[in-house]
Amino acid sequence: MTKARARAVAPPRGPKPDRHALYEVAVQGVDWDLDFLDRVFSYRNKGYEPLDFREDFCSTAALAVAWCQRGKDRRAWAVDLDPEPLAWARKYRLPYVREVAKQVTLIRGDVREARKPLVDVTCALNFSWWVFHQRADLVQYLRAARAGLRKNGVLVLNMFGGGKAEKPLVERTRKRAENGPDGTMLPAFTYIWEHESFNPIDRRLLAHIHFELRDGRTIKKAFTYDWRMYTVPELRDCVLEAGFRDFELWSEGYDAKAKRGNGVLYKRTKLDAEDTFIGYAVATR
């Protein structure tokens, strides 16, 4: 008489990791961004350290909090219209930075409204300002951002472009296990960036972020973006129309031997438009 084989039982799955925590691991380079913000401000304000900062379209306020962690005299205001990521920041980020939380103010509001107090640096990163499909809305935002800066203060926005970026695409990037902002260990996962469609007539880009977990589960369309993909000349014209006194575009250098970026941003007058570039636009009040 034969014994029945025991059936293999898969270990129980825990809850899916939080999409905001996965996003921060996949997309945000907080130290990289802050190093650049400090650099471009100091270049225009010799001998002065930027202390006051506004993060527009802040989502979970990762930059604003990290800004204040760099010094007890630093303050940050983080602005977003969506209450959900702000609530997430209050629950999963601010309680874990202790006294630094007192230096950060979270604001639910429209970034097109000028705000006080005046700050040294304002940023709108992760291509967030592309939500403005109408040029007039973008100029309104830029004027409000300028009105909220001190003299010689800087506004930094990032953008991407190039021939490859204007086509449907799917890019997959593996990410190692890492701690989230509240200390919870996030498992290794694959970050997927998808361009579903691009219309060259109105430059409307529909894009998604998906996550694939190592246990086989997926988080489809964790984030969806409906953007107008502005060009560099379009942004430059809007920035100058809004009253800023200059406009620069910076992008990362390339290490031909290693076949990857070299980790240093350079001011550009020319870019290779065949592939994809990511640029940081800098404007001075």
In whole angstroms, what is the distance from residue 280 CA to residue 86 CA?
A: 25
DSSP label at residue 8: P
- Under DSSP, the state recorded for 72 is T
Joined tokens for residue 32: 């990289």
Question: Which pLDDT band holds residue 4 (cuts at 50, 70, 90)?
Answer: low
Quick one: tokens of 56? Answer: 């527009």
- Rounded Cα gap, residues 72 and 226, in angstroms: 38
Alpha-carbon distance of 78 to 55, in angstroms, equals 5
Report pLDDT digits (tens) over 66-117.
999 999 999 999 999 999 999 999 999 999 999 999 999 999 999 999 999 9
Please check the confidence at residue 1 and state whether its pLDDT lies above 70. no
**Residue 140 and residue 107 in contact, taking contact as beta carbons nearer than 8 Å:** no
CA torsion angle for 21, 25, 26, 30 (degrees, to 10)?
A: 110
pLDDT at 273: 73
Tokens of 89: 């920041």
Identity at 31, one-letter amino acid code: D
Q: What is the pLDDT of residue 257?
A: 72
250-279 average pLDDT score: 81
pLDDT classification of 15: cutoffs 50, 70, 90: confident
The CATH number corresponding to 19-160+230-284 among 3.40.50.150, 3.20.20.70, 3.50.50.60, 3.40.50.1100 equals 3.40.50.150
Q: Among residues of the chain, what percentage have pLDDT more than 90?
A: 78
Q: Indicate the pTM of the whole model.
A: 0.91
Orientation of helix 135-147 relative to helix 232-241, angle to 10°: 50
Q: Is the pLDDT of residue 64 over 90?
A: yes
Residues in CB range of 159: below 8 A, 6 or more apart: 127, 130, 230, 232, 235, 278, 279, 281
| Residue 159 confidence (pLDDT) | 96
Based on its alpha-carbon atoms, the radius of gyration of the chain, rounded to whole angstroms, reads: 21
Q: Average pLDDT, stretch 111-128? A: 96
pLDDT at residue 6 tops 70: no
pLDDT in tens, 146-162: 999 999 999 999 999 98
* pLDDT at position 180 over 90: no
Q: Are 114 and 142 in contact (CB under 8 A)?
A: no
Structure tokens at 207: 């894009």
Instruction: Encode burial over 106-141: b for 16+ CB neighbours within 10 A, e otherwise.
Output: bbeeebbeebeebbbbbbbbbbbbbbbeeeeebbbb
Question: Where is average pLDDT lowest: 9-18, 194-203, 234-243?
Answer: 9-18
Rounded CA-CA distance 60/249 in Å is 26
